[in-house]
Amino acid sequence: MTRGMPDAAAFARTWADEWNSHDLGSILAHYAPDVAFRSPLAARVLPGSDGTVRGLAGLREYWSAGLAAHPDLRFEVLGVFEGTDTLVILFRNEAGELRAEALTFRDGLIVEGRGMFPAGQGIPDQRERAACRRMSPVAAGVVAAGVRRGWRASRRRETSCLDHGPRVPRKPLPSRPHSPGIGRCGRSRPHEPENASPCKKKPE
């Protein structure tokens, strides 16, 4: 550890516990007064912010709104990476969506944070996620077909309710029985009596 970096694994556990308890005061205690937090989601919900939230007051307001909008918010840490002054926490949220946060430390406090989303998937709309939780899996799959048409996702999200699920292989069609009225080439032929010979002998 350098430049006031905490133990990576211990910090990730504390980070998840505080978010899962929605303890905003404890969460913000890890951040410096002049912190800058950047996220594509902030760019959507804070027009004109260029995706950057500055200072503890701004961060408190931003995350307070997020916790109010998602009372069931919960994070599961999947992995932790560390550099000379930065930790990256890979996690899954309550909707089963993969996320990551990169946190840069100075003198034991976070001076810069970055929220990240999987490449190629975009940011789920809040109303879409809320509607998704109320839908049956079949209805959610129909919505997903329209919402995500044309997207090229880098991977299949396994647990999101908007997933279509694994494709079921189609069963082969049963072979059609041979019809006595149809020739081998597919053309119709006149009806023949049962005792008729299929081929005629050439005269000797």
Per-residue pLDDT of the chain (204 residues; tens, 9 = 90+): 455 889 999 999 999 999 999 999 999 999 999 999 999 888 887 877 789 999 999 999 999 999 999 999 999 999 999 999 999 999 999 999 999 999 999 999 999 999 999 987 766 654 444 434 443 443 334 333 333 333 333 334 334 444 444 455 555 666 655 555 555 544 545 555 555 555 555 555
pLDDT at residue 123 in the model = 64
pLDDT at residue 14 in the model = 97
pLDDT at residue 19 in the model = 97
pLDDT at residue 163 in the model = 46
pLDDT at residue 187 in the model = 52
Here the tokens at position 193 are: 């009596």
pLDDT at residue 44 in the model = 83
pLDDT at residue 2 in the model = 54
pLDDT at residue 178 in the model = 53
pLDDT at residue 165 in the model = 46
pLDDT at residue 84 in the model = 94
Strands across the sheet containing 98-106:
52-54, 31-38, 109-116, 98-106, 86-92, 76-82
pLDDT at residue 80 in the model = 97
